[in-house]
Structure formats: structure tokens, C-alpha cells
Amino acid sequence: MRHLLSTQGIDRAAAIHLLDIAEDMADVGQREVKKLPTLRGKTVVNLFFEDSTRTRISFEAAAKRLSADVINFSAKGSSVSKGESLKDTAQTLAAMGADGVVIRHPSSGAPHVLAASGWIDAGIINAGDGTHEHPTQAFLDAFTIRRRLHGAASRGKDLDGVTVTIVGDILHSRVARSNMWLLSSLGAVVTFVAPPTLVPANPSAWPATIGYDLDAAVDADPDVIMMLRIQQERMHAAFFPNSREYSRNWGLDDARFARLRADSIVMHPGPMNRGLEISSAAADSAQSSVLEQVTNGVSVRMAALYLLLSGDREDS
């Protein structure tokens, strides 16, 4: 793997390979000394054009656990605000010897531009670009589902036939998009549930069914229900009447949670708006995998950094 930009079009075998390496990395996290020398002497740059402390520290922890040197580059106060282009920034990082660049950018497609440009030879990981993709989030979600279903026997497994319902702001969610592509490639059956105002105009080519009725979706008995975060800025933009209305129609409240099968998996990418898209009872239940997702995020990001930066990096 040369870059990790997207999960769209990803090959099932390649996806399983990354998940299996993440299993090895999770084992490292159980050791007394949680550190591998694998990426010693490599430099990973966290190039964040948007604030995201959670994602940044997850990548930072992953890189450090592999003994890489980490340099945090927040676009605020940088040359970027002096008008430096993405091209010049990328070439500068390349010239300084960056082996990997983890990029978060408000513009959809920015990581692809970087990877396709030839400006930089480093491995590029998309850590969220606009409303487009967030592939490591999808991998950590797939990893979490696989572990819940197969436990220690997860290696080599896909998600054939697993039903996953993703609820919330599908229109703006890179998490929803990346999960849809990855989960369907792994054989899962994906359903989106959203207010009609928060669904893209023409998603007919998507490998997902779209519904508007969360109660019906709950009663359809999915294996996994994934609640998306409502961004504060959406609430003021007339996509739905108000937060109480949203919660009543599209929130996983206590009543809906009680109707789920006892071994269904409740997911959320965090940070949660407790009482809005998810109730605290649901979030803190044994069915909830919210914290496993965070833990698995470090393992999955270690796997991605390993695949991109170790000697075994492929050319395609």
C-alpha cells in the first residue's frame, strides 16, 4: 500500500490484510513495553488544516508506539496562512525528509491531490477531507465489528452478511462514506437512516439502502447500529427543526435502544453529543463499542503507518 486515501474501490483482500496487521498491533498494545522499533528513524508529519485533537493524538500515539519521530504541523500560524500553497507545503515537507504525512483538510480531495501530484514521495494518510472520506475511521469500525463477532479468531475473516445501519447526517459525513465503501467491500449490508434534508441528492450508485425511519430500521434488527455525530454548525442551518426534534426522530434514545437485540453492537465515532444522537444508557452499555473503537483506532493507524512506511511498502 503506497497511500491510504480512501476506502472506495478497496479490494477485500487488501482490507483484510490491513485488519490482520492491526490485530498484531493490538497485541503489542497488551505488552508491558508497548513499543516496536519498526519505524525508528522515520518521520511522520501530522499536517492538520483543521483542528482535531482526538484524531491527531491517535495518530501521534500510533507513530510513537512504532518509534517514529512525530512532528505536529498545525496550519494555524503557519506559512499556509501567509498564502503558501498546498504544493509548496508538501514539497517543503518532502524536502525535510518526511516519510509519512497524515493530512486533515477541510477540502474534499486534498489528500488525493497531494498523493497524485508527485510533489512528495511520502506515504499519505487521509485523516479526514471535507465531506469526502476518513478511511482509518472506517478501518477501526470494521476492526471493531470483526472483533466483536469473532474475538480471537478474527484474523482472515470478512464481514459477509453483517447488517450495519448508519444513522445521522449522511450528507456531510465522511465517516458514513468511508464506512459504506469499506464495509460493503467486506461483504456487509449497509443501510443509511437520515432526515431527508441530510441525504445527498443522487446516491443511487452507492452500495447502501437509504431510509428515513429510525424506528423501522431498529425493528429490522441490524447486527450493528452506528450513530453519527451531529455537528453543532448543522443545528443552526435549518437541516432539522431543533435538537429536541432531531433526538426524538433520529436519536438512539433509551426506548429504541431497549428494542435492539441484546448482542447487537452500538457504535459512535465520537465525540458524542449525549442526549442528542445517543442516550447515555446506550453509550455506556455493554453493547456500546465506543471505547473499543478508540483503542482500535491506535492499532489500525499503527497498521496503516506500518504498511506505508516500513521497508515492505508497495509501489501501487
Among 109, 203, 207, 270, binds a second copy (CB under 8 A): 270
Contact of 289 with 227, CB cutoff 8 Å: no
If one asks whether residue 313 binds a second copy (CB under 8 A), the answer comes out as no
Q: Are 282 and 214 in contact (CB under 8 A)?
A: no
Q: Which of 224, 190, 195 is nearest to 208 (CA)?
A: 190
From the list 13, 36, 37, the residue with the least C-alpha distance to 26 is 36
C-beta separation of 240 from 199 below 8 A: no
**Nearer to a second copy (CB atom), residue 92 or residue 163:** 92
Task: Report if residue 2 touches a second copy, rule: CB under 8 A.
Answer: no
234 known ligand binder: no
82 is in an annotated binding site: yes
What is the per-residue DSSP string for 25-64? HHHHTTSSS----TTTT-EEEEEESS--HHHHHHHHHHHH
Q: How far is the CB of 248 from a second copy (least distance, A)?
A: 20
- For the bound state, the minimum distance from the C-beta of residue 294 to a second copy, rounded and expressed in Å, comes to 4
CB 169 within 8 A of CB 234: yes
Q: Is 111 annotated as a binding residue?
A: no
Contacts of 107 (CB under 8 A, 6+ apart): 129, 130
- Please report how the helices 135-150 and 12-28 are oriented relative to each other, as an axis angle in degrees rounded to 10: 70
| Closest to a second copy by CB, 105 or 185 | 105
Per CB under 8 A, 27 contacts a second copy: no
User: Does 89 carry a binding-site annotation?
Assistant: no
The interface region with a second copy, picked from 178-186, 190-198, 216-224, 292-300 by CB under 8 A, is 292-300
Contact stretch for a second copy (CB under 8 A) within 7-15, 32-40, 146-154, 259-267: 32-40
What is the sign, positive or negative, of the torsion defined by CA atoms of 78, 81, 84, 90? positive
Q: Residue numbers of the site for a second copy (CB under 8 A)?
A: 29, 31-35, 40-43, 45, 51, 53-54, 57-58, 60-61, 64-65, 69, 71, 73-74, 77-79, 82-85, 88, 91-92, 94-97, 232, 270-274, 290-295, 297-298, 311
Return binding residues: 54-55, 82, 104, 134, 137, 174, 229, 270-271
